[in-house]
Amino acid sequence: MVKDFRHFQFEFARHLRQPHVFPRPEGVTAQSVEIYQNARFARVKEVLALVFVRSHTLLGHQAWGELVEHFYWHWPTHGTRQNHLPYEFVCFLADFPKTEETPAWFANFVQYEWMQWRVSAMNVETPAFNPTGDLMRERVVLNPAREDASFEWPVHSIETESDPIEPATTVLWVLRINHEELQVVPTDMFTVQLVSLLKSGLTGEEAMAAMAAWFELKNPQDLQAEGVHILNDLREAGVILGTVA
Amino acid sequence: MMQTKNLKGAGWALRPVNLKLLEQEPIPPLDFLAICSEEWLGLGGTYSTALQKLSDRYPLACHGRGLSLGGPGILDQNLIKDLKSFINSQKITSITEQLAWSADDMPLYGSFPIPGTYEAVRWTASRISQVQDALGMQIGVSNVAHFMVPPDAQINEAEFIAAVVKEAGCKLHLDVTALYVNSQNFAFDVQSFLEMLPLDLVNYVLVSGLTQGNYGLLTPSRLEPVSAPVWQLLANLVEKIKPQTPICLQYEPQASDWSSCVEDVGQIARLQFRSQV
């Protein structure tokens, strides 16, 4: 009787993933397995190459290849889509023990590059807004093509692998302006918190009052006065688009 | 069931990474563009905007390899749903999926030959029918390059393809380079292979370059130009299939070598023209 073909497929898949744990199915040569492993690895490299162009260049071809190979063999993927793989790579690097081959800032840089790709590929719907509305008194409309993240390194200033760089807490916004151009805006946790209050539906005045209460400021009106400038700067940077139309 | 609009002429396979190439002059006289669904699904923003602009200019065909038509696991219904929505939003007129398996319960990032058994024919054809029903359109299945013959085969590859296409009621998309590569690696006569296929159901053809890999085996490569024997096989094939069958070039030239792509698209158009006179 012919063995169930699906049984063979499951056996083959298990062997491809964990060749040292699961035996090669009967009737399959080691040569075939090697060819398919090489093809799979090439495909994973190709998918990551679309997103991590600068990370690859910064690390150099050989070290990059070795890193991706480590990912290929040691990281169990959880997503079912090809375009989920770059995120898996970011997660892998966050757990990856630091080595001499990879600079200390590298995992942060990879996350930064992924964030830029994510924003450029993000589907968003922009609600109607008034670009000249009163940001303090009306509810604001934020740029929906936006991500923020905090890093241990100033990743946005890294140009080459040999750049002398010191760790420094760095908070960045990556924005898509006018549906096209990507912009990176350095910020701080105060402003990120402020924007999250605006996102929850508070007006500028309400958000400033909440921040003043949170920081237990003695003169909350100072923050109200400063708030106009902060919100206008955010509008200028493209984080805020305007007020609800 | 919605019928696919007829693609025709010569097309080019576009990857997200190559969007900018289409801004370079001279742009080949393309009749359509082809994209790989796995590469574009989930890409919104600037990518989908660019693709939408292109789909206003060119008919779009879509190649896929992620549905794992002959796979042992369950069909990914979410993927089919997303594919349907992608087809509608990008006005895609033709869908091809590899006649292979590429996942068990998770993707394997490879395309593997389906064991040539009668049970596998029924299993695969039933899954193709489910996909066609869910998408509301007829799809094409394409032959793939492979590097092993799975054990316990009852029928050969050509018989397997023909049986699946018949049972599923789908179209056949021929990857000429994969066919050539397999014929060389497994030493079979390509003409006899073609005679076993339902060539009247071929409504799409793909050509790419090839390269020599490990153990001296040939493998398709989109980084290489189409080789002379593949051109020869294509010239032979266009005499046997319906006139006007669309032919897609899968060649990703270096940015500085875009003109060779223009030349190859022209070569396809000349072959198509000659077959019609």
Convert the pLDDT of each residue in A12-71 to its tens digit. 999 999 999 999 999 999 999 999 999 999 999 999 998 999 999 999 999 999 999 999
Q: What is the pLDDT of residue B256?
A: 62
**Section A149-157 average pLDDT:** 94
Q: Is the pLDDT score of B3 beyond 60? A: no
B107/A77 touch (CB, cutoff 8 Å), yes or no: yes
What is residue A237's predicted lDDT score, i.e. its pLDDT?
A: 95
The pLDDT of residue B276 is above 80: no
- Give the CA distances from residue B267 to residues B25, B59, B124, B258, B270, in Å, rounded to whole numbers and listed in that order: 18, 20, 35, 15, 5
Measure CB to CB from residue A8 to each of B47, B66, B151 and give the nearest one. B151
CATH 1.10.10.10 assigned to domain A129-244? The reply is no
Contact B109 A44 (CB under 8 A): yes
Say what the pLDDT of residue B1 is.
45
CB contact under 8 A, B117 and A5: yes
β-bridge partners, A63: none
- Section B196-204 average pLDDT: 97
Residue B37's pLDDT band (cuts 50, 70, 90)? very high
Spell out which residues of chain A touch residue B46, defining contact as CB-CB under 8 Å: 120-121, 176, 179-180
CB pairs under 8 A between A and B: 132
Domains of chain A by residue range? 15-20+32-102, 129-244
Q: Which residues of A touch B148 (CB under 8 A)?
A: 28-29, 32, 35-36
pLDDT, one tens digit per residue, over A72-85 is 998 877 677 888 99
Helix (H) or strand (E) holding A176: strand A170-177
pLDDT for the residue numbered B244: 87
CA distance A16 to A160: 36
Look at residue A140 and give its three-state secondary structure. strand
Confidence at B17, pLDDT banded by 50, 70, 90: confident
User: pLDDT averaged over chain B?
Assistant: 92
Given an 8 Å threshold on Cβ–Cβ distance, is A80 in contact with B79?
yes
C-alpha pair distances (Å), A157 with each of A163, A172, A219, A236, B268: 9, 11, 36, 22, 48
Q: How far, in Å, CA of B151 to CA of B162, rounded?
A: 20
Q: What is the pLDDT at residue A78? A: 67
Give the pLDDT confidence score for residue B26 in this predicted structure.
72
- Contacts of residue B42 in chain A, CB cutoff 8 Å? 81, 83-84, 121
Mean predicted lDDT score pLDDT of chain A? 92
Report the residue from B44, B72, B219 with minimal CB separation from A9: B72
How large is the average pLDDT for residues B174-189?
A: 97
Task: Match 């395309």 to its residue by tokens.
Answer: B111
pLDDT at A107 over 80: yes
- From residue B225, how far is each of A210, B32, B174 by CA, in Å? 63, 19, 18
Interface test with A, best of B46, B121, B126, B181 (most A CBs within 10 A): B46
The chain A residue lying nearest B148, using CA atoms, is: A32
Nearest by CB: B151 against A26, A38, A179? A26
Position B4 scores a pLDDT of 45
pLDDT of residue A3: 59
pLDDT at B196: 97
Cα–Cα distance between A211 and A221 in angstroms, integer?
A: 11
Instruction: Check residue A213 and give its pLDDT.
Output: 94
Separation of alpha carbons B141 and B137, rounded Å: 13
Residues facing residue A242 across a β-bridge: A141
pLDDT score of B262:
83
Distances in Å between the Cα of B241 and the Cα atoms of A72, B63, B135, B171, B201 are 42, 20, 26, 13, 8
Give A27's contacts in chain B (Cβ within 8 Å): 150-152
Please tell me the distance in Å from B62's CA to the nearest CA on chain A.
16
Could you give the CA distance from residue A241 to residue A188 in angstroms, rounded to a whole number? 19
Give the tens place of pLDDT for each residue, A187-199.
999 999 999 999 9
Q: What is the ipTM of this complex?
A: 0.93
pTM here is 0.90
Q: Of B47, B87, B37, B40, which Cα lies nearest the Cα of A121?
A: B47
Residues of A in contact with B152 (CB under 8 A): 2-3, 5, 8, 27
B10-276 falls under which CATH superfamily? Divalent-metal-dependent TIM barrel enzymes (3.20.20.150)
Residue B132 reports pLDDT greater than 60:
yes
CA distance A87 to chain B (A): 13
Rounded to an integer, the average pLDDT of A87-104 is: 86
**Chain A contacts of B115, Cβ < 8 Å?**
5, 8-9
Enumerate the residues of chain A whose CB falls inside 8 A of the CB of residue B147.
32, 35-36, 39
- pLDDT, tens only, B68-106: 999 999 999 999 999 999 999 998 989 999 999 999 988
